[in-house]
Structure 1
Amino acid sequence: MPLNDERANSSSRSEDQSSDVESSLTSDQDCSRDSFNSDGSSKQSTPSSSPPKTLSLDEVMEAGRELFNLKLAHEIANFDFHLDLNRGPQNSLLNAVRDNVQKAYWDILETELNDDPPEYQHAIKLLEEIREILLSFLNPGANRMRTQIMEVLDMDLIRQQAENEAVDIQRLASYIITTMGKMCAPVRDGEIRKLQESTDNIVTLFKEIFRVLNLMRADHVSLTIQSLKPLLQRNGVQYERETFQGILDKTPTALDRTTAWIKSALEELLPATVPPAKSDPREGQQTLPGPNQILNTACLSLLTWDFSKTPVPETWVMDESRLEEIQRQLKLLETVNEVLLIVNSTIRGPIQGISSLSDCLKKMISVLLEGMHRPDFNLEKTLEGVSAQIGCELNKSLTVRGYPPLTPEMQTTLTGQICSISQKDNPIRTLVEDRVQQYFAALLSNPNTKNKLEQVPAGLAAIKPELILTGKSFIFLIENNRAVYGPFYLDIIKKLLFGSS
């Protein structure tokens, strides 16, 4: 990716500098990968922000709805989004409250139906809700089935029957199950058969009917999502950008963290002097970093972001969990690579070039270090166990090929060196982390990413396949993010460089 460094002539005014860089930014947008406005549109999108104001409750709620819509569109268009029916941890307070409320409802229903004479107040409400769910599954042209459902589940008629104790709840349940069987996806046929063959009492049967209806609703939503996906993929960039602009209009501080993030990258690139907008032109030429260089530096910082202490920039909230996962993968890969480097440099000749042993050690180390991102994970203690397992594997391999096993002194040395990588200033750890940063910096700064993906720095060969996959994931997030938020970034960079309003 070109860096597009801008040079300010000592005789030029600040306004001319701003104009030149803005022109350069616009010309950058003609490039496919370098373009921030990469949705294929030639239209320049200039974000706007509103002056600070006090938000009403309605405005806050509306902004929240827009944020939800933005996240939903982002997930559907760019990732394998699916409706998750998992209700979360079994012992959560929300689940406990929900379960208690539902149990109370079914208990009341059972009590009413067992009364003499039966009471149908809750049963009628239940049937009405089921009718609305069934109707929601119908396509606009399904008039015949709609009419039939309305006739069989005629609430006025059912209320009259209830007053005369003539409601046939079992017949209505049977009709509902038959209708569900006509509407459900093939994957739910087994559930429908269980309902048809059920010998449970009527309350338990309706519980199961509702459970299957919820599954059918999830299927229906998933089908709708899949039908929307091509449309969102074609128009997703523009939609996400316009939706975010709507949030920004209602919440003027919605780019504060993003501005601080970009400013930090700019300060890293510039000398620690006065702000560029206030620099004295008489001091001669001053090299200004280009927008891509600034953003590349900012994006690189996401790989080492402390998510527990610092909220991510607003423009990265949608992908925060993915950034965290990439960071976890990298930390695991780096540690695995560090251990393998130590093993190879300590044992040397007897294990050189034995790919099967290297692969075995890599898998074993990866399994033992799984979960190292957790706060309660004891890396040093775990590395002691890793060292012991490595010693066993090495001794087996050495013995099979006629070499003597590791001496106690060599095993002690190996263990000490492996455990030392738990220290942040360990030279091998520092070397590997620097090489990984170099790899991702090269991916960001090169327009031909596909070729760069294969060019793994020396010393990282052991984790090359995994590093390439992680690199692809990271670059995908970066390109998608810039396509949506590029105009906002350009506006922030221009203000930081030249103090423009």
Structure 2
Amino acid sequence: MPADSISRMDSNGSGGEANPPENLLGTSPGASSLRSRTESESSDKLTRFVLPSMDGSPPKVLTLNEVGDVLKNIQNMELVHEIAINPEFKFEPYEPPENSLERRIKDIMHKAFWDVLRGELNENPPRYDYALQLLAEIKDCFPQIISQNNTRALQHINEILDIDVLKQQAEEGVLDFRAYANFVIQIMAKSCAPARDEMVRQLTEITDVVDTFKNILETMALMKLDMVNCLLDFARNDIMANSVEYEKKKFKEYLEYYKFGFPATENWLKNSCAHDVNNVPSTPEQTISNAYMQLMDWDESMEFPEVLSVDKERILKLGQRAKRICTCAAVISICSGVPIISQRTENRVALAKQIEIILQGTTNKKELLDSIENVWLQVKTVITGYLQKENQPIMDTNTEDLLKSQIMQAGNKDSPVGQLMWKRFQTYFRLALRSRAGLPPPPPGYADFQDELEAYTTALKRVIAYNHSVFGEYFMRVLTQQPFASSAATVTTSDAGAAGGTTAKEQDSADNAAAAATAEQKAEQSQ
């Protein structure tokens, strides 16, 4: 039956009526692909899994159900985490990869169904076995795309698509398959989102009745997805309000099974402990803040902290985004040495946008460095054009060579300009990380990229603040060797809101550091 695309969002993969509000928290992408075992394949009563011990304590024996519960909790936590972290999160239709075995099997099964349906309808007299099955499944789908409060519409659908009546009509040879298709389309037209109006209208233009129903199912699958995302939007605020406590609870439950620590996380934290000129180590709060700063440019040769693994891909992409912004700022700062750029604000702004466009598609360091050549060519063309427009002499060879040499090094943070711009970037982000109010003004060289700078800062700060709310207590436990449940080691959610992990006791020192960083920015601007 080709309705798997319609029923895929069900928590159990069945085609029956779902309860979307519960599914939002009870299902994670890919969960429907898990294969359930029957009692004949493997008995849960007999199967046991041993969680090995690493601290000398006796190993813990888990049943298959307990293992399943752990995995389900992790899946649920990942889904809630994604909803809370990503304000643009939406459920997307699932399609097997091209040329995959799953895709080939799906295509074969679907083609077989529609071929059999067409063959039955072309018989003389027609047979309606598959047609009845199709209408029954469409009837079951309507409660998933129409609000449960719309009882009159659902009652009307149940009356028209009454299975007993349909069977009787089929037995008497008077079942009008086209008329039922038109009825279904009418209901869909009244129930769909405005974005689907044209798609539903096109259903009325299909003359072949089998193709009509085939497209009805595909459209209903999208309408069901629209309903799920609509419910998600309504539930998002509640999910976000409770997600931190939910993840903290699940994390503690996980630690009940796994008490052996997280080596990469512990190394990440402990290696972030700095010492001042008097060799006094930083406080745990300062160490956590230093650790968060490392996420701006994570060294991929190091093992990523286990507890942040859900956000690893997001953090690494943000790191590449930071490199792009820094490179753009470095290039425009170099170009500001040319009067036609520094003395013409409109020229500088236009060139900055062009540089940003050239680099925006780069996804790794190699691509970024490879694109610098194109940046230089664009800079040369633009500056030459501006000079010719104002009847000024074009750059001489020495000036051009010097400008090219500096720009070609702009993507390297070890270059003088790269070092300066990265230092300013880090100072800005540290200020933003500690700020309980809005974002600070952009540092020198970044004014033309303020929107991108603030978008990046907001995104990474959101990731850090959320994870700190969930794992801050555990981080303090690692750095202070306190028991996990100790109230003395607890970092409150309000502290995490600053995303810097500073307690009230440490806030004065943080404010002093912020003031010093601000003074440094002003000094640079005056130079």
So what's the TM-score if we normalise by structure 2?
A: 0.71
In the alignment, the residues of structure 2 paired with residue 476 and residue 416 of structure 1 have an alpha-carbon distance, to the nearest angstrom, of 38
In the alignment, the residues of structure 2 paired with residue 106 and residue 475 of structure 1 have an alpha-carbon distance, to the nearest angstrom, of 51
Matching residue of 1:333: 325
Q: Is contact 1:248–1:255 with CA below 8 Å preserved after alignment?
A: no
C-alpha RMSD over aligned residues: 3.5
Alignment CA distance shift 1:215-1:358 (3 Å): same
Mapping 1:8-23, distance limit 5 Å = none
Alignment CA distance shift 1:203-1:262 (3 Å): same
Report the CA distance between 1:406 and its aligned residue.
0.7
Matching residue of 1:242: 249
Report the CA distance between 1:330 and its aligned residue.
1.2
Alignment CA distance shift 1:108-1:363 (3 Å): same
Matching residue of 1:454: 441
In the alignment, the residues of structure 1 paired with residue 121 and residue 302 of structure 2 have an alpha-carbon distance, to the nearest angstrom, of 56
Report the CA distance between 1:465 and its aligned residue.
4.7
In the alignment, the residues of structure 2 paired with residue 94 and residue 435 of structure 1 have an alpha-carbon distance, to the nearest angstrom, of 50
Q: Secondary structure of the residue that 2:175 maps to in structure 1?
A: coil
Matching residue of 1:66: 73
Structure 1 residues 37-78: Cα deviation after superposition (integer angstroms, max 9, x where no partner) = xxxxxxxxxxxx998635554334333322332233233345
In the alignment, the residues of structure 2 paired with residue 163 and residue 65 of structure 1 have an alpha-carbon distance, to the nearest angstrom, of 46
In the alignment, the residues of structure 2 paired with residue 365 and residue 107 of structure 1 have an alpha-carbon distance, to the nearest angstrom, of 55
The correspondence for 2:404, drawn from 394, 412, 415, is 415
Matching residue of 2:135: 127
Matching residue of 1:487: 473
Q: Is contact 2:359–2:368 with CA below 8 Å preserved after alignment?
A: no
In the alignment, the residues of structure 1 paired with residue 138 and residue 304 of structure 2 have an alpha-carbon distance, to the nearest angstrom, of 43
Report the CA distance between 1:88 and its aligned residue.
7.9
Q: Is contact 1:51–1:252 with CA below 8 Å preserved after alignment?
A: no
Report the CA distance between 1:293 and its aligned residue.
0.8
Mapping 1:111-260, distance limit 5 Å = 111-140=119-148, 142-195=150-203, 197-252=204-259, 255-260=262-267
Matching residue of 1:467: 453
Mapping 1:295-444, distance limit 5 Å = 295-306=288-299, 312-345=304-337, 347=338, 349-374=339-364, 377=367, 379-380=369-370, 382-423=371-412, 425-444=414-433
Report the CA distance between 1:306 and its aligned residue.
4.2
Report the CA distance between 1:378 and its aligned residue.
6.6
Q: Which moved more, 1:87-96 or 1:388-397?
A: 87-96
Q: Is contact 2:77–2:250 with CA below 8 Å preserved after alignment?
A: yes
Report the CA distance between 1:459 and its aligned residue.
5.0
In the alignment, the residues of structure 2 paired with residue 52 and residue 242 of structure 1 have an alpha-carbon distance, to the nearest angstrom, of 23
Q: Secondary structure of the residue that 2:409 maps to in structure 1?
A: helix
Q: Is contact 2:96–2:102 with CA below 8 Å preserved after alignment?
A: no
Report the CA distance between 1:427 and its aligned residue.
2.5
Alignment CA distance shift 1:252-1:51 (3 Å): farther
Alignment CA distance shift 1:97-1:364 (3 Å): farther
The amino acid that maps onto 2:162 is D
Q: Secondary structure of the residue that 1:119 maps to in structure 2?
A: coil
In the alignment, the residues of structure 2 paired with residue 400 and residue 128 of structure 1 have an alpha-carbon distance, to the nearest angstrom, of 72
In the alignment, the residues of structure 1 paired with residue 164 and residue 112 of structure 2 have an alpha-carbon distance, to the nearest angstrom, of 26
In the alignment, the residues of structure 2 paired with residue 144 and residue 399 of structure 1 have an alpha-carbon distance, to the nearest angstrom, of 73
Q: Is contact 1:71–1:318 with CA below 8 Å preserved after alignment?
A: yes
Alignment CA distance shift 1:198-1:340 (3 Å): closer
In the alignment, the residues of structure 1 paired with residue 374 and residue 193 of structure 2 have an alpha-carbon distance, to the nearest angstrom, of 50
Report the CA distance between 1:364 and its aligned residue.
1.8
Alignment CA distance shift 1:88-1:359 (3 Å): farther
Q: Secondary structure of the residue that 2:405 maps to in structure 1?
A: helix
Q: Is contact 1:265–1:298 with CA below 8 Å preserved after alignment?
A: yes
Q: Which moved more, 1:96-105 or 1:472-481?
A: 96-105
Matching residue of 2:115: 107
The amino acid that maps onto 1:335 is T
Gaps of 5+ in 1: 1-48, 272-284
Structure 1 residues 415-469: Cα deviation after superposition (integer angstroms, max 9, x where no partner) = 223223455632322232233223223333x344536x2162x454554453233
Report the CA distance between 1:213 and its aligned residue.
0.8
Report the CA distance between 1:200 and its aligned residue.
1.9
Matching residue of 1:293: 286
Q: Is contact 2:145–2:227 with CA below 8 Å preserved after alignment?
A: yes
In the alignment, the residues of structure 2 paired with residue 356 and residue 91 of structure 1 have an alpha-carbon distance, to the nearest angstrom, of 51
Instruction: Using the aligned pairs only, state the percent identity.
Output: 29
In the alignment, the residues of structure 1 paired with residue 374 and residue 153 of structure 2 have an alpha-carbon distance, to the nearest angstrom, of 66
In the alignment, the residues of structure 1 paired with residue 242 and residue 368 of structure 2 have an alpha-carbon distance, to the nearest angstrom, of 47
Aligned residues: 429
Alignment CA distance shift 1:350-1:207 (3 Å): closer
Report the CA distance between 1:292 and its aligned residue.
1.9
In the alignment, the residues of structure 2 paired with residue 192 and residue 351 of structure 1 have an alpha-carbon distance, to the nearest angstrom, of 54
In the alignment, the residues of structure 1 paired with residue 282 and residue 366 of structure 2 have an alpha-carbon distance, to the nearest angstrom, of 41
Alignment CA distance shift 1:384-1:96 (3 Å): same
Alignment CA distance shift 1:171-1:389 (3 Å): closer
In the alignment, the residues of structure 1 paired with residue 368 and residue 194 of structure 2 have an alpha-carbon distance, to the nearest angstrom, of 48
Alignment CA distance shift 1:92-1:312 (3 Å): farther
Structure 1 residues 19-40: Cα deviation after superposition (integer angstroms, max 9, x where no partner) = xxxxxxxxxxxxxxxxxxxxxx
